[in-house]
Amino acid sequence: MKAINKGVANPPEHRGPDGDALGSALALACALREMGRQVTVYNPDELPYNFRFLPGADSVARTVPAEAAFDVTIATDAGAFDRLGPDVPPVGRRGLLLNLDHHMTTEPFGDVNYVDPEAASVGILAYKIIRGLGHPLSRDAAECIYASILADTGSFRYSSTDPECFRVAAELLEAGVDPWEMTVRVYEQQPLARMRLLADVLKTLEVHGKPGSPIDLTDGFINYARSVDGVEVAASFREPSNGGAWRVSFRSRGRVNVAAIAQKFGGGGHHNAAGCSIAGDEAAVRAKIAEEIEQALRG
């Protein structure tokens, strides 16, 4: 048994899992291990700093041996097959491929696709699977699911927040989750380096000249741009590391569907949060994006 936690975040603008991708994979891993199954959670990228405390995160594998074979392979919150990482076992070694996702732009790459764009987080789908298996929720699994909901609803603030995620959250608290402890670990144990970066970013609301900043340290900064009164859509641009493409992230306040904008450039995501990659020089990339956003605002 193997739970593959995708190599890309939600929205898919950067490689590296977000709290939902990781939380949903670890929730399933917890439950399956409790049921006596052998599980490998694979992600080739660095785990997001503030989610490394989750049960099982310390044993996430960054590589999978070429000869390894599994009965089932589960992709969580991936959006596309090519985001799963280089070590995804081939057909014949991966068993059934189950694709768990809630991106409206996801590809049905699984043998079985459990895709629900209405689900607040893929952790909710993990919750339903664990419940469907008749397995009681352990505190460990519940923490992972709770983290996935925090990540994808912005702590029960975004429009993805629905009655279902509050109902599920209530059960997670009954299973032993301590909301304040989760808040502290996810939001209130920031590395000082992140705070210093934030200060720099807020000075200009544009990230320039921060080469080598770990991706997970800048995660969420774009929300500060969106939080400015009157801003309908925020976009952030991350410089290509070595001649690659710019990573563009979008956040919408709600009127504009930024997944549609990202899709025009081969990306995807959600109505309020999406991302894509674009090659080109900075001015050209910014102009293209500005034009698309302005067009969407007019529409």
Nearer to Mn ion among residue 74 and residue 197 (C-beta): 74
How near is the Cβ of 103 to Mn ion at its closest, in Å? 7
Nearer to Mn ion among residue 116 and residue 206 (C-beta): 116
Tokens of 274: 């999406």
How near is the Cβ of 26 to Mn ion at its closest, in Å? 14
Angle at 145 between CA 169 and CA 77, to 5 degrees: 125
How near is the Cβ of 213 to Mn ion at its closest, in Å? 23
Positions that interact with Mn ion (CB under 5 A): 10, 20, 77, 152
Nearer to Mn ion among residue 20 and residue 143 (C-beta): 20
What is the residue type of 57?
Answer: A
Burial 157-196 (b: 16+ CB within 10 A, else e): ebebbeeebeebbeebeebebeeeebeebbeeeeeeebee
Nearer to Mn ion among residue 75 and residue 285 (C-beta): 75
How near is the Cβ of 92 to Mn ion at its closest, in Å? 29
Q: Which of 253, 251, 254 is nearest to 229 (CA)?
A: 253
Nearer to Mn ion among residue 10 and residue 138 (C-beta): 10
Nearer to Mn ion among residue 13 and residue 20 (C-beta): 20
How near is the Cβ of 102 to Mn ion at its closest, in Å? 6
How near is the Cβ of 253 to Mn ion at its closest, in Å? 19
Alpha-carbon distance of 2 to 248, in angstroms, equals 31
Say whether the peptide bond before residue 191 is cis (omega within 30 degrees of 0). no
Nearer to Mn ion among residue 143 and residue 152 (C-beta): 152
Sign of CA dihedral 222, 17, 125, 50: negative
How near is the Cβ of 176 to Mn ion at its closest, in Å? 23
Q: Which of 138, 141, 147 is nearest to 179 (CA)?
A: 147
Which contacts (CB < 8 Å, 24+ apart) does range 251-257 have? 251/222, 251/223, 251/225, 251/226, 252/226, 253/226, 254/159, 255/297, 256/232, 256/293, 256/296, 256/297, 257/296
